[in-house]
């Protein structure tokens, strides 16, 4: 299992090489870039080049990018709508697709393997329209991402559209053999449980978001600080047909110092190394 970490933990900081150094010293083999413009400005070629130079000089890879959730500099607090590629209104879907493609263009200067995509917001209902819009969005994004060397992964969410069983229906109905899933274990824990999500998504998992919670809210705690069974979870992930990466996705609101993040990331990676290997 490739050991990686999302830059989301430093969302309140502009992402710069010094923060990437923290990840590398902790033992990260890969980084997931969180596309939020106040943190990682995917519209700035100078910012992209700055980070690309760091990755080209270091063994830690730019493994994936989380697609933007908002297009503004304040994560929606300015009133900007969410980036929702399956929004019921076509104009909103077009705007969301344009913003997602803008982020994908990062790969021209800073190559990465996967784009992690959300399908819908929490209140969006599941039904034929959501299925149709999801298939259409994935068809277009796959066609845009492929020449850039990027594959699309959909993430299980707490909303109805992106429940594990519905993701399987979307991928099956769209015949998306080259689109997989990023299994978010924290979201699964708040739903039907991690074991059930692993059962549903076993064949589709290509990456994972590793974080913990106590079953009450999506807290994005460090593994072991909540109630997820980590030995079972890591074993289940490693038994998938294509062993996924393990990407620590820790919440910036924990307010931990750069030094503490580095120490806790190293402990989490050590825990991943010590997990029983799949037979």
Q: Domain residues of the chain, as ranges?
A: 3-256+265-274
pLDDT tens digits along 181-196: 999 999 999 999 999 9
pLDDT score of 260: 97
DSSP state, residue 43 = T
pLDDT score of 204: 97
The CA R_g of the chain, rounded to the nearest whole Å, is 17
Task: Taking residues 241-256, report their average pLDDT.
Answer: 95
Per DSSP, the three-state class of 28 is coil
- The residue ranking higher by pLDDT, 73 or 156, is 156
CATH of 3-256+265-274, picked from 3.90.950.20, 1.10.630.10, 3.20.20.150, 1.10.260.40, is: 3.20.20.150
Residues β-bridged to residue 64: 32, 114
Residues β-bridged to residue 116: 66, 153
pLDDT score of 279: 55
Give the separation between CA 181 and CA 184, rounded to whole angstroms: 9
Region class of 94: left (phi > 0), else alpha (psi between -120 and 50), else beta: alpha
Total count of residues recorded for the chain: 279
- What is the band of 140 on the pLDDT scale with cuts at 50, 70, 90? very high
Is the distance from CB of 146 to CB of 107 less than 8 angstroms? no
Phi, psi torsion values for 150, nearest 5 degrees: -115, 140
- What is the band of 77 on the pLDDT scale with cuts at 50, 70, 90? confident
- What is the band of 277 on the pLDDT scale with cuts at 50, 70, 90? low
pLDDT tens digits along 180-233: 999 999 999 999 999 999 999 999 999 999 999 999 999 999 999 999 999 999
pLDDT score of 78: 75
Task: Taking residues 129-147, report their average pLDDT.
Answer: 98
Helix axes 164-173, 128-145, angle to 10 degrees: 70
pLDDT score of 179: 98
């Amino acid at each position: 299992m490739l050991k990686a970490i999302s830059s989301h933990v430093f969302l309140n900081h502009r992402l710069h090489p010094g923060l990437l150094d923290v990840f590398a010293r902790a033992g990260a083999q890969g980084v997931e870039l969180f596309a939020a413009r106040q943190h990682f400005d995917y519209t700035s070629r100078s910012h992209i080049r700055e980070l690309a130079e760091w990755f080209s000089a270091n063994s830690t890879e730019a493994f994936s990018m989380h697609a933007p959730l908002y297009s503004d500099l304040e994560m929606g607090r300015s009133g900007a709508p969410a980036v929702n590629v399956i929004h019921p209104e076509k104009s909103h879907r077009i705007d969301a697709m344009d913003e997602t493609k803008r982020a994908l263009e990062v790969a021209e200067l800073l190559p990465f393997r996967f784009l992690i995509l959300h399908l819908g917001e929490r209140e969006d209902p599941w039904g034929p329209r959501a299925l149709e819009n999801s298939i259409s969005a994935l068809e277009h994004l796959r066609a845009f991402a492929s020449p850039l060397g990027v594959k699309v992964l959909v993430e299980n969410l707490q909303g109805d559209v992106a429940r594990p069983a519905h993701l399987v229906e979307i991928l099956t109905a769209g015949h998306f053999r080259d689109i997989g899933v990023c299994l978010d274990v924290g979201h699964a824990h708040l739903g039907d449980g991690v074991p059930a999500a692993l059962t549903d998504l076993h064949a589709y998992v290509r990456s994972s978001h590793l974080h913990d919670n106590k079953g009450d809210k999506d807290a994005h705690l460090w593994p072991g600080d909540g109630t997820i069974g980590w030995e079972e979870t890591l074993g289940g992930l490693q038994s998938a047909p294509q062993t996924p990466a393990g990407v620590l996705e820790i919440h910036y609101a924990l307010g931990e110092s750069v030094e503490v993040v580095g120490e806790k990331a190293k402990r989490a990676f050590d825990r991943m190394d010590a997990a029983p290997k799949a037979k």
